[in-house]
Structure 1
């Protein structure tokens, strides 16, 4: 079998032309491409402000800082996530509190677990739209509003996804990342909108947007681009900040990738459906999000083995066959540096982490590649794949 990677870039002449355009402009740092990308993202999401930053981690860090979350605060977040949100929480001096997921078939943060964990010290809840599938935003927005805590959307997997509530409760129809106080996106090289490194924060709160603008560029009141255009001749520094700016080359690539997003996400949806048809009779395995009501971004295609041993055996078999797999994710409190963290019971998070297997998914995959992966999974289970 020709090796099948976990993910792959889909770039064409448009991306090449965009990079050349920036180079010929002779302006590389934050400037017109960034401004245009921010405007296009705000329009797509239906938010007032979209602020491009250097990574999804930077977006999460800035979100916490802008919300003035720091020493003594607790931030409830899923135990099943990439470590960025937890690291950002530690970076601002707050304490991450890890909540369980709903179940093996819906691995997003459980609103009931959040309700159990809220205390007088809770300042924010992070909902992570795992794999591109929106979490239970109706319950979480109501709970956070009632308890007076901020809601941060970790939408790093979910650009282009929409929340569709079975009962049409608010925020039915909203884009992932456009619902909470802030929404955070990642444009890492394996994401649906892939530029290597980059991120974005979405919000409709003016005060938060202004704080984020200052924090992402050393607390400076004007940028080099403003002074270059003659819009300002000097600047003040009004708060401590960081260099979390996005550059022009990455922004130009992002604009091209944004044009491809709807088509690429639709192709991902078709590929996931092909996987589900092929694996529906794979005994003992769980296919998460089957029947999920939302409009997913289909960032990941994950299946859950009957037990940890079967997952390990399947991953080894697929590797031998030339198929790259992964594990999204180990349970964060089980990492050395987070041992001793405040946690929920984490029954489902730990079971999911031990048994999850991420299969290749990218827009240029072929039906033949998916069929071959399905055949290999049936082979490792000791059964022939039905026609």
Structure 2
């Protein structure tokens, strides 16, 4: 359908063989391959606190529970994020306070707005490393320390990205990763948490599997014969097939991120000629604060440009585009709920309607990037000649 798709999942014979080997083994639930996947993720991220999960929404919910978020509490998160960031907090019974973004050059959460919105009920700050670029973690951690509140990192876009040498997702109290089909590391569905302390890791481990003190694999091997339930947990376990695929994908991740960076560099060069299109994070590398995972390629259309018409014109040229994101406070539920505070989001309100996500994937060629940029220029001239 698409001449150039938004993303391009690349699974090879290695992933197929890894899945087949699990089926042949006769053990499909969380087991030795999951343990190997967790160890490998920990080595890649520089931590021993990684636990694989069924998806990132589950990881976020688990993270909130692990740091004690519950009814009567407030969680601050950006409005410019996927709705799961907020919904997982609401599911605990807490209220959500939406924060603004920094500005057109940095679409991550604004630390100054976070601090303005802290109240006596604030239990956690959730940052989102938008597009794979790190938030200002120094500022966020300083705010959290001053007020004695937890920091959750939504690192769904950011596997192997860093802030001053530290892997995103390992800097706050709990970090959450996504292995959805369009992510840099994909298992179809899947995710992980990275806990900063062993105490938090153990709590996450219990919460992941019904609060049980021993797992099915341990009883299967005869290492345990019974179990206790020490808290009200969930079933957020990943299965062996996805863990096996994840191990293969993890081996491709660093090179895939490097290739993504090359594609983004090409985009920046070509989009520089389009004076009406703004490119966020354009000078990120110059700042020298970390490494991006280059998950998506956001641009800002001219103010007043009809985004859906631009997307339709791109579609007519065979180019798939998307939006990241519709702000949370724009949704019917979140825009009216008494449990969602949504004041003073001026920069989000101005910039979110202008955001357009262009195709980006590791094997994208220079010629494809050039074609996307030419199509964007032509589409803008067609639907918004001013």
Of residues 317, 328, 331, the one that matches 2:324 is 328
- Match runs of 1:331-342 below 5 Å: 331-340=327-336, 341-342=340-341
Looking at structure 1, the residues matched to 368 and 188 of structure 2 have their Cα atoms a distance apart, in angstroms, of 25
Aligned-partner Cα distance in 2 for 1:204–1:67: 11
Distance 2:188 2:350 in 1: 32
The Cα offsets for residues 157-179 of structure 1, whole Å up to 9 and x where unpaired, read as 0001011xxxxxxxx21111010
C-alpha separation in 1, matches of 2:26 and 2:180:
25
Question: Which runs of no fewer than 5 residues in structure 1 stay unpaired?
Answer: 164-171
Indicate the residue corresponding to 1:382 in structure 2.
Answer: 381
How far did residue 315 of structure 1 move? 1.1
Cα deviation code 1:225-246 (max 9, x no counterpart): 0111111011111111111000
- Per the TM alignment, residue 122 of structure 1 is displaced from its structure 2 partner at its CA by 0.4
- Within 1, Cα distance between the matches of 2:125 and 2:239? 30
The alignment covers a number of residue pairs equal to 375
SS of the aligned residue for 2:77 comes to strand
Instruction: Supply the distance in 2 between the matched residues of 1:212 and 1:61 (Cα, whole angstroms).
Output: 10
Three-state SS of the structure 1 residue aligned to 2:6 is coil
Partner of 1:56: 56
1-structure distance, mates of 2:360, 2:308: 20
Matched, 1:37 2:29: no
Instruction: Give TM-score scaled by structure 2 length.
Output: 0.95
Q: Does 1:248 align with 2:240?
A: yes
Q: What is the CA-CA distance between 1:308 and the residue it aligns to? A: 4.3
Contact 2:2 2:320 survives alignment (8 Å) = no
CA RMSD of aligned residues (A): 1.3
TM-score scaled by length of structure 1:
0.95
Task: Please name the residue that 1:368 is paired with.
Answer: 367
Instruction: Tell me whether 1:194 sits opposite 2:186 in the alignment.
Output: yes
Say whether 1:142 aligns with 2:142: yes
Question: 308-317 or 250-259, which moves further after superposition?
Answer: 308-317
Distance in structure 1 (CA, Å) of the matches to 2:188 and 2:244: 12
- Identify which of 182, 201, 205 aligns with 2:174: 182
Q: 2:346 maps to what in 1?
A: 347
Task: Measure, in 2, the Cα distance between the counterparts of 1:121 and 1:272.
Answer: 41
Give the aligned partner of residue 5 of structure 2. Answer: 5
Aligned match of 1:216: 208
Q: What is the DSSP-based 3-state SS (H/G/I as helix, E as strand, rest coil) of the residue aligned with 2:222?
A: coil
Could you list the per-position Cα deviations for residues 144-167 of structure 1 after superposition, in whole angstroms to 9, with x for gaps in the alignment?
01110000000000001011xxxx
Q: Distance in 1 between matches of 2:34 and 2:342?
A: 39
Distance apart, 1:352 and its partner CA = 2.0
CA distance in 2, matches of 1:375, 1:2: 16
Alignment check: 8 A CA contact 1:117 1:344 kept: no
CA-CA distance at 1:191 after TM superposition: 0.3
1:312, CA displacement in angstroms? 2.8
Partner of 2:89: 89
Q: What is the distance in 1 between the residues matched to 2:66 and 2:2?
A: 47
Matched, 1:296 2:292: yes
Render the CA deviation track for 1:320-356: whole Å, top value 9, x for unaligned.
1111110000110111110143124111112222010
User: Does the Cα contact within 8 Å between 2:172 and 2:196 map onto a contact in 1?
Assistant: no
Question: SS in structure 2 opposite 1:184?
Answer: strand
1:204-244 deviation line (CA, Å, top 9, x unaligned) = 31111111111111111111101111110111111111110
Using the TM superposition, give the Cα deviation of residue 249 of structure 1 relative to its aligned residue in structure 2, in angstroms: 0.3
**Could you tell me how far apart the structure 1 residues matched to 2:292 and 2:89 are?**
27
**Given the alignment, which residue of 253, 256, 261 partners 1:264?**
256
**What's the counterpart of residue 169 of structure 1?**
none
Moved more, 373-382 or 267-276: 373-382
Q: 2:194 aligns to what SS in structure 1? A: strand
- Report the secondary structure of 2:162's partner residue: coil
